[in-house]
Amino acid sequence: MNNYDLRITGMTCESCAVHVQAALEKVPGVHVADASYAKGTAQVTANPDLSPKALTAAVAALGYRAELADVSSAGDGLHERLRESPGHGDKAGGGTLQIAIIGTGGAAMAGAIRAAERGANVTVIERGVVGGTCVNIGCVPSKIMIRAAHVAHTRRTSPFDDGIDPCAPAIRRDALLAQQQARVEELRHAKYETILAGTPGITLLRGAARFVDGHTLSVSLNEGGERTISFDRCLIATGARPAVPPIPGLAGTPYWTSTDALAANAIPQHLLVIGAGVVATELGQAYARLGSRVTVIARSELFFREDPMIGEAIGQVFTDEGIRLLRQTQVHRVRHRDGGFILETSGGELRGDALLVATGRTPNTDTLELARAGIRTAKGRAIEVDAHLHTSAPHIYAAGDCTDQPQFVYVAAAGGTRAAINMTGGEATLDLSTMPTVVFTEPQIATVGLSEAEAHSEGIETDSRTLTLDNVPRALANFDTRGFIKIVVEAASGRLLGVQAVAGNAGDLIQTAALAIHARLTAPELADQLFPYLTMVEGLKLCAQTFSRDVKQLSCCAG
């Protein structure tokens, strides 16, 4: 009898190994076969006269790839085997797993780095600017602009104007924009371009990819021509772009998306904003603080999917800052005339110098020809994925804003990392049950876990407490008590279910709430923790204490 060790590529789960093993056992002359998904191998005991080609052919007939391995070089798992030959190339086969990744944003970069660390040969395909949305046209430039607007606002007005004379700042948008873009370019070079160029096992290919079949991509190269890429695994991480609603007259006008608003070199006298969510509120408030008169047009309410208290609190802040908010208002038509915009709405005619359309984002999947690879999409062309980041084609994965998961860069990066682990033989899942969210208005909006409405929709009876910020020492010391902290618990056990907050630095306090929910703490257990005095996160402790006592009757830092 002879013993044969086969390296198998293309298996994506334990059932794949079962099919491989069954096929090998049917080969004439085979006595015993044992396939392992975790190791990416199959061991076969067969008659001496059996040709090894019969074994590899049996595996190939199932759609996988097999090659005869030298027993003495076999490792203990896929991770160790892949590290033996970290070569480059764009053709599948040989001893190294070939992974194609479409995109260079948060999900793509996290996936490429982790896959290369685990020994795979990675080809990253990018049709545009390296770095994706976050660093180039999203998180980084928007937070720089928002911070600049905060500085302008506090110079103009603050709770300390009685003792510190306010002054009207001169806004030099060209200089602010140059500073913003310089930091964007610095981060793109350091965190994306340099890493791609300097990581062994990663090759960057510039062009637009589309699927030919389940194991092949065709890339239209930016420099001209076509290139075919064969892969064992693929990660789709193409991100999303601003969605544009089909409002009559809008197409063909020089309206702004978030990309345009972040790159505009002038502050308009009157900015009209269509939208009621994150981008509309963040950029609307920023432009107002930089000197624009701003009108926000909400089809229903601000943040209508969240706890109603959130929209009410931010709406009041906007009103106090002079931002006009039109709720329950439909835009019927858009015209652009004499350098300005005219909007016909259900509430009358509106005129402005610039128009920002901030009505969500749509996945960049329309040019990929996903059907050729058997990949299903949900409503709006988002790719459907499971907790392991598998698409409907088991050897093809997707992560980030192009999927049906929440559109946050930290979700994208976590998804890309877990997809890479799974593509290289691991078993990682992405748990979003304690995913924190932050909106960078001022005050910030932050949530984690379930709202009361979401808990009730799942059949959970709840109890909740809402703490206004005039009960939080840090807010009192700041002379800024706008907002609240709300804790939702399971009524029967007191276990924390969710936290919603509108507060200064709410984005920082929400991570403590996320960890508490993840640890399945109850409200009394959270209330019993030590929190540093005169921090906003202390508000979590105080809110938890209100389930059993009146915090107004406590001393400043009562435990």
The enclosing domain of 479 has a CATH number of 3.30.390.30
Instruction: Give the closest residue to 423 by CA, choosing from 65, 10, 92.
Output: 10
Alpha-carbon distance 501 to 507, whole Å?
A: 9
Same domain, 204 and 135: yes
State how far the alpha carbon of 80 is from the alpha carbons of 94, 96, 199, 421, 471, in Å.
15, 11, 18, 13, 56
559 within a domain of the structure (yes/no): no
Alpha-carbon distance 468 to 475, whole Å?
A: 10
Token pair of 66, please? 């097999």
Instruction: Note the pLDDT of residue 447.
Output: 98
DSSP 368-428: S-GGGGT--B-GGGPBP--TT-B-SSTTEEE-STTBSS---HHHHHHHHHHHHHHHTT---
Residue partners of 419: CB distance under 8 A and separation at least 6: 107, 111, 235, 388, 389, 397, 398, 399
109 tagged catalytic:
no
Task: Decide: 399 and 409 in contact? Cβ < 8 Å.
Answer: no
Task: Decide: 87 and 96 in contact? Cβ < 8 Å.
Answer: yes
250 within a domain of the structure (yes/no): no
167 tagged catalytic:
no
Q: List strands edge to edge, sheet with 496-503.
A: 437-439, 444-449, 496-503, 484-490, 462-468
61 within a domain of the structure (yes/no): yes
Token pair of 284, please? 């609307």
CATH number (domain holding residue 284): 3.50.50.60
Number of domains in the chain: 4
- Residue 31 host element (H or E): strand 30-36
Same domain, 423 and 452: no
234 tagged catalytic:
no
402 tagged catalytic:
no
558 within a domain of the structure (yes/no): no
Which of 74-78, 131-135, 221-225, 538-542 shows the lowest per-residue confidence on average (mean pLDDT)? 74-78
Instruction: Note the pLDDT of residue 10.
Output: 67
Which of 275-284, 310-319, 410-419, 543-552 shows the lowest per-residue confidence on average (mean pLDDT)? 543-552
Same domain, 329 and 388: no
- Residue 532 host element (H or E): none
302 within a domain of the structure (yes/no): yes
Is 172's pLDDT higher than 60? yes
Same domain, 24 and 38: yes
Same domain, 286 and 315: yes
Q: What is the dihedral of CA 245, 247, 251, 253, to 10 degrees?
A: -110
139 within a domain of the structure (yes/no): yes
Alpha-carbon distance 222 to 420, whole Å?
A: 26
193 within a domain of the structure (yes/no): yes
Domain finish residue from 389, 409, 432: 432
Same domain, 374 and 351: no
Domain finish residue from 359, 388, 404: 359
Task: Decide: 64 and 73 in contact? Cβ < 8 Å.
Answer: no
Cβ neighbours around 89 below 10 Å, total: 14
Alpha-carbon distance 230 to 209, whole Å?
A: 12
134 tagged catalytic:
yes
Q: Which of 4, 64, 287, 397 is catalytic?
A: 64
Give residue-wise pLDDT tens across range 110-151.
Answer: 999 999 999 999 999 999 999 999 999 999 999 999 999 999
pLDDT band (50, 70, 90) for residue 558: low
Q: Which of 1, 4, 11, 167 is catalytic?
A: 11
Instruction: Note the pLDDT of residue 61.
Output: 75
Instruction: Give the closest residue to 138 by CA, choosing from 468, 440, 375, 445.
Output: 440
37 tagged catalytic:
no
Average pLDDT, the chain: 92
Instruction: Give the closest residue to 514 by CA, choosing from 452, 433, 443, 400.
Output: 433
Token pair of 343, please? 């909007």
Domain finish residue from 415, 432, 449: 432
Please give the average per-residue pLDDT across 495-502, as a whole number: 98
Same domain, 171 and 187: yes
Q: Which of 109, 134, 402, 423 is catalytic?
A: 134
Same domain, 215 and 82: yes
Is 12's pLDDT higher than 80? no
Same domain, 265 and 150: no
Task: Decide: 105 and 410 in contact? Cβ < 8 Å.
Answer: no
Specify the pTM.
0.83
Instruction: Give the closest residue to 443 by CA, choosing from 527, 320, 551.
Output: 320
Instruction: Note the pLDDT of residue 223.
Output: 94
pLDDT over 90, % of the chain: 82
Instruction: Note the pLDDT of residue 342.
Output: 98
253 within a domain of the structure (yes/no): no
Domain that holds residue 540: 437-553
State how far the alpha carbon of 400 is from the alpha carbons of 52, 259, 411, in Å.
42, 19, 7
556 tagged catalytic:
yes
Count CA atoms within 13 Å of residue 220 on its CB side. Answer: 7
Give residue-wise pLDDT tens across range 504-552.
Answer: 999 999 999 999 999 999 999 999 999 999 999 999 999 999 999 988 8
